[in-house]
């Protein structure tokens, strides 16, 4: 796993071991960043369910102003921290040890782009999307990675499905506000 482009281009990132973690594939990551490449400069990026932090690091490498890395797993956050240091982006990232729900319930932050890649088949997005919606700035995007057989709502508050893309057994759903 590597940073595709930007200031940290080519930096190899650590991943977590085990079956509990399913990193976004290179193909899907490239597709996601092609979708938002003109929306990143100077933006606030939320990497919810951060895992190794690769999506937030890619956003920072491509010019995002700041990224929040949220995960309930201390091992994930430690891996994300190491990857931020390796990419020389540690000063632009904020690491938060919390579940998505508890973070969204207490934060006052607002974001321009959020990437959500929760564990598959747990219906986590049913509660997270409504909690996230008030934290997305007008014109912002929420990008959800799910298993192909999971169904997401067409709209959640002010968020509406903009596009859906399928990559083998993975679906990317883009909401716009």
Q: Residue 111: is it exposed, middle or buried by C-beta count within 10 angstroms (0-12/13-18/19+)?
A: buried
Tens of pLDDT, residue by residue over 50-106, are 999 999 999 999 999 999 999 999 999 999 999 999 999 999 999 999 999 999 999
Instruction: Give the pLDDT confidence of 125-140 residue by residue, as tens digits.
Output: 999 999 999 999 999 9
In a domain, 49, yes or no: yes
Task: Tell me, yes or no, whether 139 lies in a domain.
Answer: yes
| 12 lies in some domain | no
In a domain, 4, yes or no: no
Whether 166 maps to a domain, the answer reads yes
CATH code for position 147: 3.40.50.150
Calculate the alpha carbon distances from 5 to 33, 50, 58, 96 in Å: 10, 19, 7, 25
Question: What are the φ/ψ torsions at residue 55 (nearest 5 degrees)?
Answer: -75, -45
Q: How confident is the model at residue 124 (pLDDT cuts 50, 70, 90)?
A: very high
HSE toward the beta carbon, residue 17, CA cutoff 13 A: 0
Instruction: Kindly state whether residue 131 falls inside one of the protein's structural domains.
Output: yes
As for how many domains the chain has, the answer is: 1
Instruction: Tell me if residue 148 falls in helix, strand or coil.
Output: coil
Weakest mean pLDDT among 8-22, 27-41, 43-57, 140-154: 8-22
Domain that holds residue 71: 37-91+101-119+127-176
């Amino acid at each position: 796993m590597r940073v595709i482009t930007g200031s940290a281009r080519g930096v190899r990132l650590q991943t977590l071991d085990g079956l509990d973690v399913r990193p976004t594939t290179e193909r899907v990551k490239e597709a996601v960043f092609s979708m938002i490449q003109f929306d990143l400069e100077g933006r606030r990026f939320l990497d919810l369910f951060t895992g190794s932090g690769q999506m937030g690091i890619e956003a920072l490498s491509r010019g995002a102003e700041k990224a929040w890395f949220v995960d309930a797993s201390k091992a994930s956050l430690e891996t994300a921290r190491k990857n931020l240091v390796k990419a020389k982006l540690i000063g632009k990232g904020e690491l938060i040890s919390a579940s998505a729900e508890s973070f969204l319930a207490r934060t006052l932050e607002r974001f321009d782009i959020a990437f959500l890649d929760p564990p598959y088949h747990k219906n986590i997005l049913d509660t997270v999307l409504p909690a996230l919606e008030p934290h997305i700035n007008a014109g912002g995007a929420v990008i959800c990675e799910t298993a192909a057989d999971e169904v997401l709502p067409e709209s959640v508050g002010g968020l509406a499905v903009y596009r859906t893309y399928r990559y083998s057994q993975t679906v990317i759903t883009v909401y716009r506000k």
